[in-house]
Structure 1
Amino acid sequence: MARIPLEDNYDDVVNKAQRGLGISDEDLARRAEVSAEDLAALKSGAFNEAVARRVARHLKLHPDSLVQLAKKTWYPAQPVFPAGFAAFNTAYGDMTVNSYLVWDARSRHAAAFDTGADCGEMLEFLRAERLALHYIFLTHTHEDHIADLPRLAGETRAGVWASEREPSGFPGARTFGENTHFHLGALTIKTLFTWGHSPGGTTYYITGLSHSLAIVGDSLFSCSMGGSRSAYAAALDNNFKKILPLPNNTVLACGHGPITTVAQEKKNNPFFAR
């Protein structure tokens, strides 16, 4: 996958945290001891480091990581899989969305995670590598992630699976509970419920490849996380309890933005760095 920009700018992070915590502009300016004008400028993209550091503390954001994001001085190192993993990035309106394949090298059995806006490249890859798609797993059912589900399911006849908390509604699709295990040759796929951004947001933790891998959907992005107006506390809690405790070298395949690792996000993500 070519280098993909980070999903969020610093002002996106500030706005997500403020909305999630339910803090008004007036209250945030008072707590941070900044003027209403300076806060408005910061939130609209006019970066002021001193203001950002004051505001970050009251939004439970890591100040150094927020400043680093604003200054664009860091980008996650990209892990390389010799085999068994492929990423696809497709345009959906004014943004891009990721989908993924994993497969067992011996059996050539594969699983897809979301479809993105267009599964054409994924289908070509399956044919070129002579892979048999057995599963289509959904991280959640927002349209940008499942836009081409009918085509992918129709052409491959793979089974469609989603969280019992957020059924897909796709004809014939099945649901799973948390901590369900699927097997794909030598690979094991475990479901972790990381809801908050969506009611049934799911992380798939995969072992058996050259790196442990977590396909996290919109639960977490490099330097950010999925937004939520109604379940922000749950989204944060699920990320802290279910994604960040994974081994530090676990690769995080996000729904938007670049691939990263647990260790890199613990150090560089304003929501999670400590």
Structure 2
Amino acid sequence: MSLPLEDLFNDVIAKSMRGLGISDADLAAKSGISANDIADAKNGKADDRVLRKMAPHLQLDGLALVTMAHNEWRPLAVNLPCLEQFNTAYHDMTVNSYLVWDADTKNAVAFDTGADATPMIEFIQAKGLNLSLIFLTHTHGDHIADLARLSADGAVTVFVHDKEPCAGAKTFALGEAEAWESGGLKIEPRSTWGHSKGGITYVVTGLKQPVAIVGDALFASSMGGGMVSYADALATNRKEIFTLPDNTVICPGHGPMTTVGEEKEHNPFYPEFK
């Protein structure tokens, strides 16, 4: 499926300003541009000069921000066998969930439920798969809305980080749960908190490319808001996602799939890779 980017360039600006605690007046003084220019940028006006002046003071990459403002990039379509993305409507937005499976054993593993697990359940039945495990990236409502139905009221084991316990799921602590296996797949949890208290990225190996299901830690050309800690959201992404091989498929909670290599090149929040 072809999904639009989760964030616009002005969403990136707003997330950075909010996370860094920078006001319009602060940014105007540091960048030498007017408060009106800043207000226009926040409202979606794509002025390259303004964006390039703002970017360094927001710890953003100016070229990537300008490229985003002119809609000049989107990630290449991901077509990886035994990986499926499901996108369902939740109030005024959409949310993703994912299924990976081993082609030989037909063992499948789900990540989050989205707003409605019906498409995933129907896909599992149509493909003759056996849902063996469910993993939660975090427990915000849009990601776990249909957990009881997907897990058949607990018949399928669900795992979540112990900093975000929720009904119907077993908790794990990093360090105790090194990895899980299902068929020929291996699932390794990595801490990417900051957007939520116990945000987890699950790295799946055993397919033709490594896969990282990141929840709301990272989006194509953006990232989740640092609702708990903006600094830690940035730092854990750098440590746990951007150290993965460039061909790793990134499966975000919102928007299209992407890769580590593409995000290094195009994500404004990570200027050090440009």
Q: State the shift of 1:93 in Å.
A: 1.1
Partner in structure 2 of residue 170 of structure 1: 167
1-side partners of 2:210 and 2:182: how far apart? Answer: 15
2-side partners of 1:122 and 1:50: how far apart? Answer: 45
- Per-residue CA distance 1:86-144 (angstroms, 9 max, x = gap): 11000111111000001111111111000000000100011111111111100000001
Partner in structure 2 of residue 231 of structure 1: 229
Partner in structure 2 of residue 119 of structure 1: 117
- Per-residue CA distance 1:156-203 (angstroms, 9 max, x = gap): 821111011211x213x2112225200011110000010000001100
2-side partners of 1:127 and 1:6: how far apart? Answer: 30
8 Å CA contact retained: 1:133, 1:156? no
Partner SS, residue 154 of structure 1 = coil
Judge which range, 148-157 or 87-96, deviates more.
148-157
Q: Residue 89 of structure 1: which of 77, 87, 90 is its match? A: 87
2-side partners of 1:222 and 1:128: how far apart? Answer: 30
Q: If the length of structure 1 is used for normalisation, what is the TM-score?
A: 0.96
Q: If the length of structure 2 is used for normalisation, what is the TM-score?
A: 0.96
Partner in structure 2 of residue 32 of structure 1: 31
2-side partners of 1:64 and 1:142: how far apart? Answer: 32
Query: How does 1:1-274 map onto structure 2 within 5 Å?
Result: 2-82=1-81, 84-154=82-152, 157-167=155-165, 169-171=166-168, 173-178=169-174, 180-273=178-271, 274=274
- What is the letter of the counterpart of residue 6 of structure 1? L
- What is the letter of the counterpart of residue 91 of structure 2? G
In structure 2, the gaps of 5 or more residues are: none
Partner SS, residue 183 of structure 1 = strand
- What is the letter of the counterpart of residue 43 of structure 1? K
Q: State the shift of 1:10 in Å.
A: 0.2
1-side partners of 2:84 and 2:26: how far apart? Answer: 46
Partner SS, residue 122 of structure 2 = helix
Q: State the shift of 1:229 in Å.
A: 4.1
2-side partners of 1:230 and 1:40: how far apart? Answer: 26
Q: State the shift of 1:155 in Å.
A: 6.3
8 Å CA contact retained: 2:194, 2:227? no
Question: Percent identity among equivalent residues?
Answer: 51
8 Å CA contact retained: 1:19, 1:229? no
Q: State the shift of 1:54 in Å.
A: 0.6
1-side partners of 2:76 and 2:65: how far apart? Answer: 18
In structure 1, the gaps of 5 or more residues are: none
- What is the letter of the counterpart of residue 36 of structure 2? E
Return structure 1 stretches of 4+ with deviation > 3 angstroms.
Answer: none
Q: Indicate how the Cα distance of structure 1 residues 243 and 192 shifts in structure 2: closer, same or farther if over 3 A, else same.
A: same
8 Å CA contact retained: 2:138, 2:200? yes
8 Å CA contact retained: 2:196, 2:227? no
2-side partners of 1:229 and 1:33: how far apart? Answer: 29
- Per-residue CA distance 1:35-57 (angstroms, 9 max, x = gap): 11111111111221111111111
